[in-house]
């Protein structure tokens, strides 16, 4: 596709010799082909790419270049774009829209009808109509219409829902500042990267991603994170140098970015009432666009069941082809007309390949979905239910998932120059005495006042409420030295002993999960300017003057974190008044602080956590914790919850980046609860022991590490990463991106990974996992296949149980449908030998009255209430399943051949009679048997014969027997007898079949094109069927379902699993040097460097950039 700039030529007189954009290095300048002013572009998954003539490759367009420094962003875009540049960018970058069209019903209908399955059904129906097999053809048409209608309705509803989610995005009026035009209002779809947005007022929806360059904003990012907690955004500092703006400073660049789809609650300018932001990305390049794309183009699910299903159907088609050749030979030699021969040959395909198979499989998934819905678990991707049955590793977020959402303020531990003082408990009702510590608790937070209500992070809220102070917004004449619209905290009437009128919060450096701290600059009314810091104790202590940090810091911190408390460090300093606050850099403010003390909050485990984790562990499903919290707290929660048992050891892994002359290092230390080490590392305060016991092999130890170490290991020790992941259980201080990476690394080891989180910062990992379960009902959960209404992890075992039951049900249906097809196929081919066939009503009885009803009711078994310590087979083409199908086909084949041959050898077979019911047993031997050809009977051109009658009864009742044999109960599904509807159906069907077999009703036999046989022969039929049932049941129970037998066979043949994690387990079990204890390795040592790295194929995502 080509974009022509010649349309702008007349308006702006473009000169091919001059750059079109002021920045000569811009991709737009490199993309324009001269002199004809054309740009070559393509669109992939809604993202536009243009051809870079200089690089000779396609480059993404619709966003600012990554290499721009903060100084360049302020310089180039700080005063807006010219009209000419806006028009050029608008034409090349495209509109700022997230268009999700509502798919027209006719288009969905055509797409569904052209599904190979329905095409095959259409072929079958046309063939049946030509053979006057109208009844079943109409039944299949009705079922197909209902199925197509339901599918189209579901797809249409999803399309409408997604359209409504993004519809408002395209119709927002925004204000921008142009270099020549000044402030102007326009529709958001006309925005381009580089435009200068003017943000004013409250409750503004962001129509694009933008970098805040002036002022501050409070934003609700619930749409992206699932957590409706106001987040404060600060302007991008104007730093000199050429370092790209995303990499400058030590913190996250996200704190400067306003993401598309989020709501700006408050916008304040530094020197005016408006904030300014530069448009960073537009359309589908934005954060919201990326979320929508992840729904439109989901990650391909690599599940072997669906690949095996195709192979399975191809095998049936191969079998049908053999049958077709046989049919052609038989009927051509018998002198049938070509038309009849073709019909008979094509008939074999519709018999060998069951048209009802996909409908039966869908029914099983629908029942499982309905059962999950009753438990408050909602599913937007039903195909994933089967995948749940294969899960063998589940990752859990900690806060809000394993532990309770709310934090209770347990107490505060002040400190002075001599060490920590006595803990001040808030449960006693005593207020904290006035001092720097009290001032820090009142002002070091990101709370805001919205409609008279204080809102913000629950931790901040608890801390502020404990002080009993109140919050107001200053007016223009509020107090000398306090700017207008500043947030002011002041003591309430009861706090008469406080010597200050209030504290104004002048500037915030917001909390960042990467930095693990937040800092504020405040002004005491009529007093000093102060700096307060709050964050992870180890991080806060590292910014303090060493002499102010108590010598017992490590041991005291250890005491509380090992009990599972959440501990926050507080520090402060006085600020020199001669600095202008907006000119101060964070590095200048956060230095030489005085340590104030520790804030101790209680975060209790949810009641359901421990029993659920114990259930999963007893079922041999690995549990892993991925949290953003402190490492020691995470270890304690893991021990309290049962994720790490008392008898198991925890080995801490600490990895450090390359520093100066030394290469990256990794050290291994055994955690010991009773001994202490000196305060020497700012990041980890743990206690170690020198040795490890002999039983510290696979399963008896767990690795614990933080996000920083994980990142270093990924970059410098990738060959060690699989070994570490084999026993890695606790991952602390993990960023959202690291959570996603960890899930992907587990998947590379061939684990089926589940992820359970409360939606906050877990979206990426929820999308990446095979099964994502969100405990949040926010919009972010739209990216998660499963959402639980009950906000605890009880949903995880329920999901696995239902997944296992659904998987086993799918296998049962495959086996049953294959057997039903083969029973009918063998019977028909035997009859073809005599140029005979089953009549339409005989087919109808088998297809509709027996198989269809069984297919609908066989799936009703619920999940077994107990999780067993092994999973169902994940492959359709597995030895037990194939053996089961082959043996049962052989049994049915043998039974039908025996029946077919024996009936021809009966004395009454060739007497030229249409019924043998009147023949007396004592005269049979006296009859002279003279072969007489069967007489053509009925309107359908079907030969009624004793072979036909025998084969039909054997085949029909065998379909019922096979359904009972294949209907699995324990250990993955409820016992068959508890599926009352299915048992009733089988009893009724068997009773009807036996009634038809033994009832001498001529009219009934005539309708079904059957011949009456002697009672003794009917008894023979029952004996053959009973023998077949007993043998089939014994084979199924004693061989196919005998797990111990299959395990013995595997051992005898030396079979070993080819899954990566199994290979690593075997390797580590035989490695006497693993795990290394009290050792430090370096990246330049042999065997510690980088290994082979690869990534799973997923849709191209901007998540890492966001």
Interatomic CA distance for residues 773 and 795, integer angstroms: 8
357 membership: H or E segment, kind and range: helix 357-374
Q: Kindly compute the dihedral angle of the four CA atoms of residues 1024, 1030, 1033, 1036, in this order, to the nearest 10 degrees.
A: -80
Residue 261: name the closest of 222, 315, 216, 213 by CA: 222
397 in catalytic set: yes
Cα pseudo-dihedral 801, 805, 810, 816, rounded to 10: 170
H or E stretch at 460: helix 458-467
**Whole-angstrom Cα distance, residue 900 to residue 207?**
75
422 Ramachandran zone, left/alpha/beta (phi>0; psi -120 to 50): beta
- CA-to-CA distance for 908 and 912, rounded, in angstroms? 9
State the Cα–Cα distance between residues 137 and 118, nearest whole angstrom: 13
Query: HSE of 650 in the Cβ direction (CA atoms, 13 Å)?
Result: 26
SS3 92: helix
Active-site pick, 347, 397, 758, 1009: 397
Secondary structure of residue 532 in the 3-state scheme: strand
C-beta separation of 798 from 785 below 8 A? no
The 10 Å Cβ neighbour count of residue 497 is: 9
State the chain's maximal CA–CA distance in angstroms. Answer: 130
Name every residue whose Cβ is closer than 8 Å to that of residue 878 and which is 6 or more positions away in sequence: none
Question: Do 70 and 238 meet the contact criterion of CB atoms below 8 Å apart?
Answer: yes
How far apart are alpha carbons 197 and 200 in whole angstroms? 10
The three-state (H, E, C) secondary structure of 38-64, written as one string:
EEEEEEECCEEEEEECCCCEEEECCEC
CB 255 within 8 A of CB 233: yes
**Pairwise CA distance, residues 1082 & 1089, whole Å:** 8
Q: Look up residue 262 and give its two tokens.
A: 């989020």
Bridge pairing between strands 196-199 and 275-281: antiparallel
In the 8-state DSSP scheme, what is residue 1036? I
> Residues 252, 185: contact at Cβ < 8 Å?
no
The single residue listed with the structure tokens 């509803």 is 157
Contacts within 8 Å (CB) and 24+ apart, 994-1001: 994/957, 994/1022, 997/953, 997/1021, 997/1022, 1000/917
CB 867 within 8 A of CB 801: yes
Judge contact between 770 and 752, C-beta under 8 A.
yes
Q: Please list the residues that pair with 597 across neighbouring strands.
A: 414, 570
Q: Are 829 and 323 contacting, i.e. CB atoms less than 8 angstroms apart?
A: yes
| Selection from 63, 160, 21, 61 nearest residue 104 by Cα | 160
In angstroms, rounded to a whole number, what is the distance separating the alpha carbons of residues 920 and 321?
A: 45
Sign of CA dihedral 251, 256, 262, 263: positive
Other residues' Cβ atoms within 10 Å of the Cβ of residue 528: 11
Enter the tokens of residue 278: 């530069």
Q: How far apart are the first and last CA of the chain?
A: 29
Q: What is the rounded radius of gyration, in angstroms, for the C-alpha atoms of the chain?
A: 37
Under a CB-based contact definition with an 8 Å cutoff, are residues 865 and 801 in contact? yes
Provide the residue count of the chain: 1106
Q: Locate 571 and state its tokens.
A: 């520090």
CB 576 within 8 Å of CB 720: no
Residues with catalytic function = 397
């Amino acid at each position: 596709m080509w974009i022509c700039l010649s349309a702008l030529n007349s308006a702006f007189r473009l000169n091919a010799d001059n750059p079109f954009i002021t920045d000569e290095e811009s991709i737009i300048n490199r993309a324009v082909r001269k002199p004809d002013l054309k740009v070559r572009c393509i669109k992939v998954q809604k993202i536009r790419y243009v051809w870079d003539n200089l690089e000779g490759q396609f480059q993404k367009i619709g966003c600012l270049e990554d290499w721009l420094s903060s100084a360049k962003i302020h310089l180039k875009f700080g005063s807006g774009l010219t009209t000419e540049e806006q028009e050029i960018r608008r034409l090349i970058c495209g509109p700022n829209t997230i268009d999700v069209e509502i798919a027209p019903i006719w288009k969905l209908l055509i797409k569904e009808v052209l599904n190979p399955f329905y095409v095959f059904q259409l072929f079958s129906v046309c063939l049946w109509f030509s053979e006057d097999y109208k009844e079943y053809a109409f039944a299949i048409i009705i079922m197909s219409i209902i199925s197509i209608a339901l599918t189209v309705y579901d797809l249409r509803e999803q399309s409408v829902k997604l359209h409504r989610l993004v519809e408002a995005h395209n119709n927002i009026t925004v204000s921008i500042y142009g270099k020549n035009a000044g402030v102007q209002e326009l529709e958001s779809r006309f925005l381009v990267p580089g435009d200068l947005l003017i943000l004013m007022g409250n409750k503004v929806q962001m129509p694009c991603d933008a970098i805040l360059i002036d002022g501050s904003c409070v934003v609700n990012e619930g749409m992206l994170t699932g957590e409706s907690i106001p987040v404060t955004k600060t302007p991008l500092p104007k730093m000199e140098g050429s370092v790209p703006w995303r990499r400058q400073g030590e913190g996250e660049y996200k704190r400067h970015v306003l993401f598309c789809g989020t709501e700006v609650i408050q916008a304040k300018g530094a020197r005016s009432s408006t904030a300014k932001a530069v448009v960073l990305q537009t359309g589908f390049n934005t954060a919201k666009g990326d979320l929508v794309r992840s729904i439109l183009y989901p990650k391909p699910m690599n599940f072997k069941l669906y690949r095996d299903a195709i192979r399975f159907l191809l095998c049936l088609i191969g079998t049908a082809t053999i049958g077709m050749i046989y049919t052609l030979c038989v009927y051509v030699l018998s002198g049938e007309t070509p038309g009849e021969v073709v019909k008979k040959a094509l008939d074999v395909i519709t018999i060998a390949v069951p048209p009802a198979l996909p409908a039966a499989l869908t029914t099983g998934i629908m029942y499982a979905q309905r059962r999950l819905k009753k438990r408050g678990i909602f599913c937007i991707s039903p195909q994933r239910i089967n995948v749940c049955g294969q899960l063998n590793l589940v990752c859990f977020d900690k806060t809000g998932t394993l532990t309770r959402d709310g934090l209770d303020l347990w107490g505060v531990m002040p400190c002075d120059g001599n060490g920590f003082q006595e803990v001040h408990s808030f449960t006693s009702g005593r207020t904290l005495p006035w001092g720097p510590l009290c001032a820090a608790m009142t002002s070091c937070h990101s709370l805001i006042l919205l409609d008279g209500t204080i809102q913000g992070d629950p931790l901040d809220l608890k801390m502020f409420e404990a002080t009993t102070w109140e919050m107001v917004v200053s007016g223009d004449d509020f107090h000398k030295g306090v700017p207008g619209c500043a947030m002011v905290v002041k003591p309430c009437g009861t706090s008469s002993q406080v010597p200050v009128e209030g504290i104004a919060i002048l500037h915030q450096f917001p909390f960042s999960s990467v930095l693990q701290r937040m800092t504020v600059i405040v002004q005491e009314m009529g007093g000093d300017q102060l700096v307060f810091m709050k964050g992870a104790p180890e991080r806060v202590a590292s910014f303090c003057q060493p002499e102010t940090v108590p010598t017992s810091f490590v041991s005291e911190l250890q005491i509380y974190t090992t009990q599972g408390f959440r501990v926050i460090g507080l520090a402060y300093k006085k600020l020199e008044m001669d600095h202008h606050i907006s000119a101060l850099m964070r590095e200048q403010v956060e230095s030489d602080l005085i340590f104030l003390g520790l804030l101790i909050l209680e975060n209790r485990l949810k009641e359901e956590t421990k029993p659920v984790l114990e259930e999963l562990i007893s079922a041999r499903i690995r549990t892993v914790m991925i949290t953003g919290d402190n490492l020691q707290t995470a270890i304690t929660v893991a021990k309290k919850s049962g994720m790490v048992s008392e008898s198991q050891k925890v080995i801490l892994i600490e990895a450090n980046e390359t520093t100066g002359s030394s290469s990256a290092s990794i050290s291994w230390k055994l955690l010991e609860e009773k001994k202490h080490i000196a305060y020497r590392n700012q990041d980890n305060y743990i206690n170690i022991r020198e040795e490890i016991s002999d039983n510290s092999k696979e399963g008896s130890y767990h690795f614990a590490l933080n996000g920083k170490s994980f990142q270093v290991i990924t970059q410098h020790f990738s060959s060690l990463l699989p070994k570490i992941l084999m026993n890695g259980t606790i991952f602390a201080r993990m960023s959202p991106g690291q959570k996603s990476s960890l899930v992907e690394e587990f998947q590379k080891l061939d684990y089926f990974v589940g992820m359970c989180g409360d939606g906050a910062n877990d979206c990426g990992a929820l999308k990446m996992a095979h099964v994502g379960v969100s405990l949040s009902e926010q919009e972010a959960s739209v990216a998660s296949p499963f959402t639980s209404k009950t906000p605890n992890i009880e949903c995880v075992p329920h999901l696995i149980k239902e997944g296992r039951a659904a998987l086993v049900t799918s296998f049962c249906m495959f086996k049953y449908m294959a057997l039903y097809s083969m029973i009918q196929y063998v019977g028909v081919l035997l009859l073809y030998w005599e140029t005979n066939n089953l009549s339409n009503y005989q087919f109808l009885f088998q297809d509709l009255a027996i198989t269809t009803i069984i297919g609908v009711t066989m799936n009703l078994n619920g999940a077994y209430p107990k999780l067993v310590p092994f999973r169902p087979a994940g492959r359709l083409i597995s030895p037990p399943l194939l053996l089961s199908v082959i043996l049962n086909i052989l049994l049915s084949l043998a039974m039908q051949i025996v029946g077919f041959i024996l009936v021809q050898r009966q004395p009454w077979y060739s007497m030229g009679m249409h019924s043998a019911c009147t023949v007396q047993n004592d005269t049979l031997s006296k009859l002279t048997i003279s072969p007489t050809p069967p007489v053509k009977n009925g309107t359908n051109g079907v030969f009624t014969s004793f072979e036909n009658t025998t084969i039909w009864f054997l085949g029909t009742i065998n379909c019922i027997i096979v359904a009972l044999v294949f209907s699995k109960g324990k250990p993955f599904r409820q016992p068959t007898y508890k599926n009352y509807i299915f048992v009733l159906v089988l009893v009724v069907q068997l009773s009807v079949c036996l009634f038809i077999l033994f009832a001498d009703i001529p009219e009934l036999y005539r309708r079904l094109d059957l011949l009456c046989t002697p009672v003794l022969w009917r008894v023979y039929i029952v004996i053959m069927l009973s023998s077949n049932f007993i043998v089939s049941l014994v084979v199924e129970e004693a061989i196919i379902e005998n797990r111990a037998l299959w395990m013995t066979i595997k051992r005898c043949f030396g079979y070993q699993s080819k899954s990566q994690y199994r290979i690593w387990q075997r390797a580590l079990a035989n490695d006497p040097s693993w795990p290394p204890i009290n050792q430090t390795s370096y990246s330049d040592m042999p065997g510690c460097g980088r290994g082979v790295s690869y990534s799973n194929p997923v849709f191209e995502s901007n998540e890492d950039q966001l």
